[in-house]
Amino acid sequence: MTEAPARVSFYVLAAQEPAARLNFACKLTEKAYKLGQQIHLYTTNGSEADALDRMLWTFRQGSFIPHQRLDPSQAPNAPVTISSGSDAPPAVDLLINLAAEVPAFYGQFARIAEIIDGSAECREAGRSRHRFYRQHNLEPETHQIG
Question: What does the angle CA 93 – CA 109 – CA 72 come to, to the nearest 5 degrees?
Answer: 90
5 HSE (CA, 13 A, CB side): 29
* Nearest-angstrom CA–CA distance, 18 and 51: 11
For residue 4, the model assigns a pLDDT of 60
Question: Do 67 and 78 contact (CB within 8 A), yes or no?
Answer: yes
pLDDT of 94-104, one tens digit each?
999 999 999 99
pLDDT of 66-93, one tens digit each?
999 988 788 888 999 999 987 778 889 9
62 φψ region: left (φ > 0), alpha (ψ -120 to 50), beta (else)? left
- Show the domains of the chain with their CATH numbers: 7-145 (3.40.50.10110)
Predicted TM-score (pTM) of the model is: 0.92
Terminal C-alpha separation, the chain: 38
Res. 1 pLDDT band, cuts 50 70 90: very low
